[in-house]
Amino acid sequence: MAASTTAQAHGRPAPPTRVAVVGTGGVSALHAEAVTELDDLELVGCADPDPGRREAFAARWGAPVAAASLEELLDRGGVDVVALCSPPWLHAEQAIACLERDVPVVVEKPVALSLAELDRVVAAEASSAGTCGTVAQHRFGGRAVGVRELVRTGSLGRVDVALCETLWYRPDAYFDVPWRGSWETEGGGPTMGHGIHQIDLLLSLAGPWRSVTARAARRARPTETEDVSTATVELEDGGLAVVVSSVLSPRETSRIRLDCERATVELEHLYGYDDDSWVLTPAPGCADELEPLWAGTAGGGPSGHVAQYREVRRALLEGRPLPVPTAEARSTLELVAALYASAATGRTVARGEVDAASPFAASMRGAAEPPWATGGTTTSPADDPASSASSAAATSPAAAP
């Protein structure tokens, strides 16, 4: 039994949750800030093979242990949860290493490079006392929690139309970091690495998806992957969402818009939101009922790592899977995989179609360079009726191994 659970069982306040940060580059500061801000969390260590980085991190945030590797850190013990902030290609392998030692782990996005990798993490969870959560910090701001509830309870009515835009700008120099821009180490372009935040928020608000029809292109950046993708996503009850993920957009913004039967809900922000980033426009005749409900969604705090770590603490105390649980993270990752499959094959891809036989389950790239990446056009389904997400590797010359 974890120390905190034991203390609770005896009516004592639970001791702080001991957090160790693995990978002390850019995003690690957001984790350290959150752990430092929350009284019931304690930063107990960090690990990074780069001695300069780990020592600077330990000195700045007061981490008592600075290890050269995850394994060295775990060998010392005394860690209640690992925060994985390493490059994406290490996430699944390091999450599994934590789970094999029964240590809960919160993994930065993307949780894994592929559905196949994520399924290995899920398998490791099944025989572990720990669970694996994914960072999706925009789910946890107060308004998102409130809007999710208004959709769930039917107060807003059906979601008929949605927009989900990640219009960001990353100059060529952004891709100088060795793991960026490669299928092998980053797993994808802005769909996988940037838009996934908004895509995850869309699904968490508007519910599951049914199919996706997508295009992708590499227009300008020095990357193997796309630098823009567009998609139409059919939601489970037939509503339609347009999803755009770009790193080519000088006027940057992140937007979600839900046109529901009874109101439009809009969120506009960049890398994080607060209550004022959201606007409700009731449909005619709905204002009297919806405005008090909308007021009730205020005051829950901004999005961000602090908001997610509060939930991490609660989940650990209550013995629940860490947020965002792998089952929910998988739905988002599956949509991303299906989006890449659709962009490569020119077909609409249904949920469930990127199965174990599909090359897009093993890699977002599929089995070969996507046609759009070499300046070609996406295969038209009329030209290639046999092509499918599962059979793309077998039927398309471009997808040959």
Ligand X SMILES: NC(=O)c1ccc[n+]([C@@H]2O[C@H](COP(=O)([O-])OP(=O)(O)OC[C@H]3O[C@@H](n4cnc5c(N)ncnc54)[C@H](O)[C@@H]3O)[C@@H](O)[C@H]2O)c1
Q: Rule CB under 6 A: which residues touch ligand X?
A: 22-28, 47-50, 53, 69-70, 85-88, 90, 108-109, 135, 137, 177, 193
Query: How many C-beta atoms lie closer than 10 Å to residue 369's C-beta?
Result: 15
> If DSSP codes are grouped into helix, strand and coil, which group holds residue 344?
helix
Those residues whose C-beta lies under 8 Å from the C-beta of residue 67, and which sit 6 or more positions away, are 45, 46, 47, 54, 73, 76
**Of 85 and 96, which CB lies nearer to ligand X in the complex structure?**
85
Residue 225 beta carbon to ligand X: minimum distance, rounded to whole angstroms? 13
Instruction: Provide, rounded to whole angstroms, the least separation between the CB of residue 100 and ligand X.
Output: 16
Least distance in Å: CB of 133 to ligand X? 12
Q: Nearer to ligand X by C-beta: 306 or 398?
A: 306
Rg (CA), the chain: 21
- Whether the ω angle into residue 324 lies within 30 degrees of 0, i.e. cis, is yes
- Which residue is nearest to ligand X, using beta carbons? 25
What does the CA dihedral 152, 157, 160, 163 come to, rounded to 10 degrees? -60
Task: Kindly report the number of other CB atoms within 10 A of residue 169's CB atom.
Answer: 12
**By C-beta, is 136 or 231 nearer to ligand X?**
136
Question: Please, which residue, 198 or 378, has the CB nearer to ligand X?
Answer: 198
- Tell me how far, at minimum, the Cβ of 36 lies from ligand X, in Å: 17
Min. distance of Cβ 142 from ligand X in angstroms? Answer: 18
- The count of other CB atoms within 10 Å of the CB of residue 163 is 16
281 token code pair: 């426009």
DSSP summary character for residue 378: P
Residue among 24 and 332 whose Cβ is closer to ligand X = 24
Shortest distance (Å) from residue 7 CB to ligand X: 31
Rounded to whole angstroms, how far apart are CA atoms 110 and 34?
20
Q: Are 245 and 232 in contact (CB under 8 A)?
A: no
CB closer to ligand X out of 71 and 355: 71
